[in-house]
Structures are given as structure tokens and as C-alpha cells.
Structure 1
Amino acid sequence: MDPIRALLVDDEPLARRLLRELLTDFPRVEVTGECTNGREALEALQANTYDLAFLDVQMPDLDGVQVLRQLIEAGQRLPLIVFTTAYDQYAVQAFALHAVDYLLKPIDPDRFADCLASVQQRLAQQQSHAVSTHLASLLGAWPVATAAPVASDSASEVPEYQDRFLIRTTERNFFVPAAEVLYLEATGSVVTLHTLAEPYTLRTPLTQLESRLDPATFLRIHRSCIINVDHIREFKHWAHGEYVFRMNNGAYVTSSRSYSAVIQQFLKRFA
């Protein structure tokens, strides 16, 4: 499998070193470029091909948001963009520019791992779609008089999300519909599915479960918690960028500051 070519952009050497250290846990990611300011980043992204770029928001000369805007306006092919910054007020701008994630400094290793899992999943989907498109073009060009009709690309692009969970016990095996799960909570290697009836446990990693769930319904608010937005009774903004959600079973779940940008982007749908 080809390595993921990454560009690190930050005016602080310590910040770039920390990113390199965090990336040592992800052998597929290869740092193939580093930039110390926005001008360098603009030139590097115009001249080279990267799969992933960690882009600092606040930099001298050109900031990260300006770099991305200039590239978009020029019609430049873009890698997956992950913004990094010590401040969360740029979150809405970042997601409006289609950044895939937004990491707050100091970067939490678990939050970073979640980010990389999402990045690798997106890249795998892109590669799969590219291969499917190439095969479809080859089949379309093959001179077969009785060729069967080929399904449209739009149908193949619709993702299939998990709509139920398989629960195994010593007595029986059964399904719990995803729509009935209020929130998923990870404790160590165990994930608890909280429903109005009773809790159920799984031993599948939370990040793996997240990748199977519909992001329009399930929102990750903490490295150890994913909530079903259809079961939010009420919520309020808490201190330091945190949110408190009251679920339909009366339980309160609190987000972490590192997920505030993700929650703000979700709430923006209803503004």
C-alpha cells in the first residue's frame, strides 16, 4: 500500500517536531515536506503532490485560512487539510473551507489518533472510488455488443452505514437498532451502548464503530463518547468550549474542548 504523503506547516519548530513525533505511531504516513510560513506552504502545495497537510492557522505573512482560500480560488488540487491552532474561533471558517479536521494545541494524542483514523478512511474511500471509476471507463470502452447496463456512479457512491449492532451473550445473540442507541461510551476496551431499555456492551473500538455510523445522526463529542443527535433533549454551552448534552434518558454527557469545533460545525447546520 502506498504511503500517505504529508506536509507539515507551522512557524514553530517545536510544533512541527511534535507532529512528527505523533506521526511515528502511523507508519503509513510519510512526512515529505515541511514549511515555516504561509508563503512556503502555498508554493509547496502548488508545486508538489501531497495526500495530507497539517496547516497552522496563525502564521506570519499568510495564515492557514488565506493559504487554503488562495488554492481554492486558483482551482488547485488539494490534499486533505487538517488545521492546527491554539484557538478555536477559526473552526467555522476551517470547516467552511472543507478542512477534514481541526486540532487544538496542545494536541491530545488520542484526539490525534481519531483524526488520523478518519484521514486514512477518507483516503481509502477516495482510492476505492478512483479504482472503480477507472474500471468502469475500461469496461465502457470494451467493444462488447451485449454488454449489461452499468450502474451509475452516483448509486455506488452512496455509503452504507451500520443500522444495527450485534450483541452476543452467553444466553443469546440479538440485534439492537442503531436508532435506539442514545449514546456510545467507551471505558477501556469496552463500549457501552446506552438505550432507553438497558445498556449493552461491545468490544469493538469506538473509532471503528464511528467509521460505520451515519455522521448525520451520530456525533463524536469526546474521545470516549459518541451521541445520537436524535436523542438530544437539550444542551448548553459550558466553560472552555465544552458542551453539556442531556439525553432522552435523562443522562448528562459532556464534550471535551478538543471536539468543540466539530460540535460547532454540526450546530451550524441549523443556524
Structure 2
Amino acid sequence: MTVLKCIAVDDEPLALKLVETFIEQTPFLQLSCSCDNAVEALSLIREKQPDLVFLDINMPNLTGMELARLLQDHPVPIPKIIFTTAYNHYAIEGYKVNAVDYLLKPFSYEEFLRAANKVLQINDESLNSYQYATGDDEFFFLKVEYQWVRISLKEVSYIESLKDYVKVHFVDSDKAILSLISLKALEEKLPSTKFMRIHRSFIVSLDKINSISKNSVFIGKTEITVGEQYKEAFRTILEKWLK
């Protein structure tokens, strides 16, 4: 059974205790830790790398929404987020930071479980959306709607993240395919000698890069910016090429 590692964050002790209790009584959730402020939560997310964060929004110093925005440009894998709040006017902002759900306090265990199940479904679909094989012509399979599509590594130019999906772009075609899998999950499966994540939303095929500017790479006519947290790793690769 899939088990999701969780962090609970809330500055209200009773609300935090409730989320902890709900997590502990849910078989597919595992409480890694909890805290009462978003600043500490950021450090814990770096350390624990949870799958899911139950995150209060209204907190002093750093709000939950501000933390969620910071995580979008964070070098560690981005966890799924379920917001917990007493205010109902944050829903649109929550959508902008790709929150899976939004629990309005006071919420029941049924509502909590429904939200957690959404994350479990996304996680399981991602795990079941990929197969890989090696050989003279290395390839992998991605689940596209209701069928498995065989993709040759040498035909991929770059891969783009679109929320819970990836969009695979090809060298000799304007067509692309969409698959329900996270960029993180696909990154972990692809050979690091051939593919590299250079931005939180992009993985590129290294041998398809045509040219490089100060902060970008070009694959054909497509320009892709190298994200700040990926510059050092990319610079290391670049130095090897230029030796």
C-alpha cells in the first residue's frame, strides 16, 4: 500500500492536534513531523521531503500562502499541499500555487479523508504512468489516456511540467503528448547522463541543446531559462563540454 509522508503546519494548537489525529488514524498517511509556523516548516520540508503538507494559511511572519509560493521555486521536490483555513476567500490563490484541496475550518474527518484521497490518487496514477526499458535503442512507456505509448529517448527534445501532467516534446514533430505523472517522478527515472532538469518546469535532453546563452538554452527555436537553483549543476555540465 502506498504511504504518503506528511507534515502538519498550524499556529493554533487545537487545530494542529486535530490534523495530527486525522493523519494518524488514516492508514495511507504517515506523520513525519508537525510545527506551528511556516518558517520552521520550510526547513522541515527541506529536511524531510514529505509527499504532502497540511498547511494553515493565516500565520505570523510567513503565511502558508507565502510558503507555498516559495516552494514553487524550491530546489527540493515540491510536496502536494492541502490548505487548512478558517477563511474561504483564498481558494483562487490556492489554485495558483497548485494546491490539491482547500479545507475550510472546522472540517470533519470525512472532508479530510476526501482531500487526502485526492493526493493518493494523483500519487498512484503517477507511479502507474511510467515504464522503462533499456537496450540498443533505449525507450520508456508513458500512459497516455487509456494506452501505453512507447517513446524513444533519442526522439525526445524536452519535457515540460503542466501541474500534475508532463508534456513531452519531440525533435522532428510539432506534436507533443500529455501524461498524468509529475515531473519529479519522471526525472527520477530518466538517465541523468542524457537528461537534466534545468528549471522547475523543464527537463531537457542534453544532446538536443543547439546553443547556450548566459541564462538560457535553445533547443531548436525554443528558449528555456535555466532556473536559479539549477545553475550550478548546469554550469558543471557545461564546463565538461567546454574542456
Please give the TM-score of this superposition, normalised by the length of structure 1. Answer: 0.50
Q: Render the CA deviation track for 1:11-68: whole Å, top value 9, x for unaligned.
A: 1111111112222431121100111101001111122210110010001110001011
Aligned match of 2:77: 77
Q: Render the CA deviation track for 1:185-206: whole Å, top value 9, x for unaligned.
A: xxxxxxxxxxxxxxxxxxxxxx
Equivalences for residues 174-253 of structure 1 within 5 A = none
Q: Give the Cα–Cα distance (whole angstroms) in 2 for the partners of residues 19 and 97 of structure 1.
A: 21
Q: Give the Cα–Cα distance (whole angstroms) in 1 for the partners of residues 29 and 110 of structure 2.
A: 17
CA contact (8 A) 2:81 2:99 kept: yes
Give the letter for the 1:35 counterpart. Answer: C
Aligned match of 2:203: none
Q: Is structure 2 residue 41 aligned with structure 1 residue 41?
A: yes
Aligned match of 2:136: 143
The offset of 1:75, in angstroms, is 4.3
Q: Give the Cα–Cα distance (whole angstroms) in 2 for the partners of residues 159 and 107 of structure 1.
A: 35
Equivalences for residues 79-98 of structure 1 within 5 A = 79-98=79-98
The offset of 1:3, in angstroms, is 2.4
Aligned match of 1:31: 31
Q: Give the Cα–Cα distance (whole angstroms) in 2 for the partners of residues 4 and 120 of structure 1.
A: 7
> For residues 127 and 142 of structure 1, do their structure 2 counterparts lie closer, same or farther at Cα, with a shift above 3 Å needed?
same
The offset of 1:74, in angstroms, is 3.2
Q: Is structure 2 residue 106 aligned with structure 1 residue 113?
A: no
Q: Give the Cα–Cα distance (whole angstroms) in 1 for the partners of residues 24 and 35 of structure 2.
A: 19
Q: What secondary structure does 1:99 align onto?
A: coil
Q: Give the Cα–Cα distance (whole angstroms) in 2 for the partners of residues 65 and 75 of structure 1.
A: 18
Query: Match for 2:145 among 158, 173, 180?
Result: 158
5+ unaligned residues in a row in structure 1: which ranges?
161-271
Q: What secondary structure does 1:45 align onto?
A: helix
CA contact (8 A) 2:8 2:34 kept: yes
Give the letter for the 1:72 counterpart. Answer: Q
> For residues 27 and 157 of structure 1, do their structure 2 counterparts lie closer, same or farther at Cα, with a shift above 3 Å needed?
same
Q: What secondary structure does 1:73 align onto?
A: coil
Q: Give the Cα–Cα distance (whole angstroms) in 1 for the partners of residues 140 and 2 of structure 2.
A: 29
The offset of 1:151, in angstroms, is 7.8
The offset of 1:83, in angstroms, is 0.4
Q: What root-mean-square deviation, in Å, do the aligned CA atoms of Structure 1 and Structure 2 show?
A: 2.2
Q: Which has the higher strand share?
A: 2
Instruction: Please say which of residues 90-99 and 14-23 is displaced more in the overlay.
Output: 14-23
The offset of 1:79, in angstroms, is 1.0
Aligned match of 1:52: 52
Please give the TM-score of this superposition, normalised by the length of structure 2. Answer: 0.55
Q: Render the CA deviation track for 1:242-271: whole Å, top value 9, x for unaligned.
A: xxxxxxxxxxxxxxxxxxxxxxxxxxxxxx
Q: How many residues align?
A: 147
